[in-house]
Structure 1
């Protein structure tokens, strides 16, 4: 598909969307799975082992969702805080299910070592619709900015704000999928009235470090743990992954705060964004979840050893 012939079924090429186009896009979004069954029920099952709280509620026309956070049951202000977030992009399934699996299977290993704050699904509207954006056609992971226009992002920022300066590590769980290229990047180009520039989807797991706060040893510790579970994405012919230079094995960098990315929200010393590739013929859905769990474990172990 060339940029000249790229087509998206909403809007006029070269013209940014207005209210009518956003409404047309919204009408195309259909519920495809249940947040209540696949997320809320699993969180509820953890209530006997963790402190579960509702930190907000999404209230879109015809759709309301609780925003749920899970904390260590014996919170100790003398211990460092570790933040795990998933489902910033609702369609990135293993980010959500991996966070839930970590809570169920591995979180107890860190009792008395740190305070865990886990938000498994930041964007439940997007989770149900397998959608990157929220109902306002905004990307929550470009909206971690003052006075955020995205309610998902604003609610998470408010949750984390009292912990600023106390969060040692924040890992944000994501996926890069084939639909990034077939649906979500064309939609972004159409929404913003820009030409669609075709890209390449990497086959494998990779991480995004903060170019303003590089932690290369931390990133490699996470990669080493994930590599036990699934394969790491190689650089493309240009030495890049999704258009960014590969700075180390399986690692690229973004300026997190400047881009309004979730991993900038806490000001943690150690931050990383995972990117699992669920469409690989070499990875099963369970491997994708396991890779997210491995990433969280690798991140926690390194941060605790290098406080």
Structure 2
């Protein structure tokens, strides 16, 4: 177990470069990508609790609201400042260091991108590097199952015991990005780290209930609408669902209500690539791509200006869904031929 918990040297060297500026800072503002997920939000919560235990002030400011369903990971609720609020403006003005987690690309931090000074912005991310990075110092390691694994390593390298609040954030990050330890990125080391976090007091049943077993009624109504739109290619290898903006507006759903929705397409027998198209506004569509096998959906997403992982990726179009679906499906069908 101790060998598995040792930080891989290829990761330890670049992470050590972050420790000095982080621990020398007075006020660090933490960011993640639009529509924060369990890995992004959990990593932020873990870092914030650790920094504040070290006497460094931390504030979380995201391009979109911090998900209500993930607020249980925060060591204090007011560590989050909503973008555009006086608290967020003050934090962005006062901070001497910025840390971007679970993404590195300017497009993925939305309206925050122009407010992040390159020379004072650090990045910790487990996605493959994109065309442009928001900070001067970036640690990007696709071998990590989640950014939360890298956050665990960062705190370990500091020589600090893992605060319980940080353990909770890191555990939520791991659970989220490994599909509850079901996906191919679940390595022996990931399980060892998870076991260590449990030893520190994390209850997996409580985390499961908070993440997966509690849902507002609107989420079930969204699922009903999504299943009505279920489509598939002629050979059944590509499946998709389409959620128009009028549906999300009528149900009053938020970005977090879409978490896990694509898994219903992915679970259909014979599906190799699952797609979820959702209109985030009347003229804008986000597509999420998930691979069940060897298909590289990151390759497909990058054809449309997006990106992600081999088995999980996404892209955004400034067009309605009806103008996007056929193009993306055709690109996936072509990719499956190779």
The verdict on a shared fold, with TM-score over 0.5 as the criterion, is no
Q: TM-score range by the shorter chain?
A: under 0.3
Return the index of the structure with the highest Cα Rg: 2
Tell me which protein shows more helix as a share of its residues: 2
